Amino acid sequence: MATANTITWYRTPVDKDVLRELTKKSDSRGLLHAGSFLLIYLTTTAVCLYFFLNRMWVPMVVAMYVHSMFHGFIGMGAAVHELSHGTAFKTMWLNEFFYRLFAFLSWNSYFHFKESHRRHHMNTGFDELDREIKPEPIGFTKRHVIGWFTFDWAQFKKFIWTNFQHAIGNTDVDFFFWCPLLSRENIKTKKLIAWARFLFIGHIALIAVFVYFELWILIYTVSFGYFFATFPVHGCGIQQHSGLSRNIPDWRVIAYTADFGPIMSYLYWNMNYHAEHHMYASVPFYNLPKLHKVLEPDLPIPIHGYLRGVIHVLRTKRLQNADPEYRYMPEFPPTAHPPKLA
């Protein structure tokens, strides 16, 4: 049984000078991306409010749905995930500001995710060591998918219920499958509890303001928009590790690399280059396309297109329904080193 200290990962070698350039952080590039995310969020919220105030109900419902489609990318599926690495900005307080702001707007526990995700990167895909991703075979159901297009009840329970339990001091309940992530005696546990209480107090205070001024639509857009129309970000998330091998010390066969195109790559903070991200996690998201070019001769042939990737995962799921032991092995170019399977 592998342990966190015995996993020797395969990494495609990269020239030190090249890697030094790729790992450089930029406040301007981080602010451009995070700032544009905040601007889109505020714009879709304002559009919903405009339609609400003018009693334009059909356009309002459409705007609410579009708002939620974008809202999903603010959370751990994209923005919160990348900001947790602390690589988006050169100035750390800027990174922390947007990290906590986006975590608040999506009911994410910023401290929990940072600690959980650190373990996920150390032990990616190793049973009993990586509990951030579900064991194979692929586990989502038709009921989950229906929720992704309507009200995502599973995500609502995952965030609201877990944060509520943390707020009342029960940190044995977990967002993933650590159960618990930290012991109750751990001094860091106080941070989990304090943030969960801040989330509830903050959102309750905002809801009270919205009720007082009868701005009912803002209750949805600010506090609960994250739990509706989550299918775009889930379509990205299932293209991280789904259907791939487990217990193998080679990120090239346990994480996907995909070409999403400019729009989905922007929304997903370039996490479609997921094998590259795992291999060199210190590289900021805006440099991942360049890193992909450097690593490309040693990487699997990427899936081209967001929708093609979704179709691939669904096809893999069908194969696993017939054979639960089936795992997809990516195709490598002739220039690549063979996968490290042990």
Domain boundaries, position 64: 24-322
Residues 316-333 have pLDDT tens digits of 999 999 999 999 999 999
Q: Please state, in angstroms and as integers, the Cα–Cα distance from residue 150 to each residue in 65, 147, 153, 231, 292, following that order.
A: 9, 5, 9, 9, 35
187-216 pLDDT tens trace: 889 999 999 999 999 999 999 999 999 999
7 lies in some domain: no
Domain count, the chain: 1
The pLDDT assigned to 86 comes to 97
Looking at the domain assignment, is residue 144 inside a domain?
A: yes
Q: Which helix (H) or strand (E) holds 45?
A: helix 27-53
Residue 91, pLDDT above cutoff 70: yes
Which tens digit of pLDDT belongs to each residue from 134-185? 888 998 999 999 999 999 999 999 999 999 999 999 999 999 999 899 998 8
Domain membership flag for residue 222: yes
Let me know if residue 12 belongs to a domain.
no
Other CB atoms within a 10 A radius of the CB of residue 42 amount to 11
Alpha-carbon distance of 223 to 138, in angstroms, equals: 30
Q: Give the least confident one: 20-34, 73-87, 130-144.
A: 130-144
Cα–Cα dist 249/253, whole Å: 9
Mean pLDDT, the chain, rounded, equals 96
Residue with tokens 């890193």: 291
Amino acid at 246: R
- Residue burial 10-20, b: 16+ Cβ < 10 Å; e: rest: bebebeeeeee
Residue 2 has pLDDT above 70, yes or no: no
Residue 89 or 4, more confident: 89
What is the distance between the alpha carbons of residues 171 and 73, in angstroms, rounded to a whole number? 26
Residue type at position 84: S
Confirm whether 6 is domain-assigned: no
Task: Tell me whether residue 274 is in a domain.
Answer: yes
Residue 181 inside a domain? The answer is yes
> Element (H or E) spanning 96, and its range?
helix 92-105
> Sorting pLDDT into bands at 50, 70 and 90, what band is 92?
very high
Contacts of 22 (CB under 8 A, 6+ apart): 14, 280, 283, 287, 290, 291, 294
Is residue 104 predicted with pLDDT exceeding 60?
Answer: yes
Confidence of residue 1 (pLDDT cuts 50, 70, 90): low
Q: What local confidence, expressed as pLDDT, does residue 324 receive?
A: 95
Q: Which pLDDT score is estimated for 188?
A: 87
Q: pLDDT band at 6, cuts 50/70/90?
A: confident
**Has residue 31 got a pLDDT over 70?**
yes
Q: Tell the residue number behind the tokens 């450089």, with chain if given.
A: 24
Question: What does the alpha-carbon distance between residue 122 and residue 128 come to, in Å, rounded to a whole number?
Answer: 12
Question: In percent, how much of the chain has pLDDT > 90?
Answer: 93
136, 246 contact by CB (below 8 A): yes
In terms of C-beta density within 10 A (0-12 exposed, 13-18 middle, 19 or more buried), how is residue 29 classed? middle
pLDDT of res. 124: 97
Spell out the long-range contacts of 328-332 with Cβ–Cβ below 8 A and sequence spacing 24 or more.
Answer: 328/243, 328/244, 329/245, 329/253, 330/244, 330/252, 330/253, 330/256, 330/300, 330/301, 331/300, 331/301, 332/252, 332/299, 332/300, 332/301
pTM, rounded to two decimals: 0.95
Q: Are residues 188 and 182 in contact, defined by beta-carbon separation less than 8 angstroms?
A: yes
DSSP string, 266-328: HHTTTTTBHHHHHHTTTS-GGGHHHHHHHHGGGSPPPEESHHHHHHHHHHHHHHHHH-TT---
Q: List, for residues 133-147, the tens digit of each pLDDT value.
A: 888 899 899 999 999
> With the C-alpha atoms ordered 55, 56, 59, 62, is the resulting torsion angle positive or negative?
positive
Furthest CA-CA distance within the chain: 65
Q: Is residue 270 domain-resident?
A: yes
Over residues 254-295, the pLDDT tens digits come to 999 999 999 999 999 999 999 999 999 999 999 999 999 999
Question: How confident is residue 311, by pLDDT bands cut at 50, 70 and 90?
Answer: very high
